[in-house]
Amino acid sequence: MKRMSSIWLVIMLLSFSLMAAEEFTDESGLAWETNLDDAIAQAESSGKSVLVNFTGSDWCGWCIKLREEVFSKEAFHKYAKDNIVLVFLDFPKKKKLDPAVEAENRSIMEMYGIQGFPTILLLNSKGRLIGRTGYQEGGPEAYINHLKSFMKK
């Protein structure tokens, strides 16, 4: 009986740690969801689009470049706050993800046929794919205009 209660305690603690990890703020202060379903629900209630960032945060050079040149900039922060729900799906090599998070990320990657990093998906407020892109030169303003071009279609 004591062993059963210990197992339940571990399960509850793991559940709480997973719930706490469903959103994080990156080093630049930008808030990212890590659960796609939650992000789509937010987008639907707010009328925003969803930007899904498939990244190798600790090894992918183009991912790091996109983060440094676009996602870390104030212009992008302002645009994101008013227009998009951000989702961060990481595939790191140096740090370990929780196995459940890793499995969920991989499942979403397979569902969308992601072949490389960074891949950026833009979904409408219902979760329907409206655009697929990656790194683009030109900084945050050019990237914002690039995203807007998908929304006009």
- pLDDT surpasses 60 at 12: no
Return the half-sphere exposure (C-beta side, CA atoms, 13 A cut-off) of residue 82: 7
Note the pLDDT of residue 17. Answer: 39
Return the half-sphere exposure (C-beta side, CA atoms, 13 A cut-off) of residue 81: 9
To which residue do tokens 């914002």 refer?
144
Which range is least confidently modeled, 5-9, 43-47, 60-64, 75-79? 5-9
pTM: predicted TM-score of the whole model, two decimal places: 0.84
Are 62 and 27 within 8 A, CB to CB? no
Mean pLDDT confidence for 1-6: 48
pLDDT band at 45 (very low <50, low <70, confident <90, very high): very high
**What string of H, E and C letters represents the secondary structure of 27-60?**
CCCCEEECCHHHHHHHHHHHCCEEEEEEECCCCC
Residues 83, 95: Cα–Cα separation, whole Å? 31
**Helix or strand or coil: residue 88?**
strand
Return the half-sphere exposure (C-beta side, CA atoms, 13 A cut-off) of residue 18: 14
- pLDDT surpasses 60 at 49: yes
Residue with the bigger pLDDT between 60 and 8: it is 60
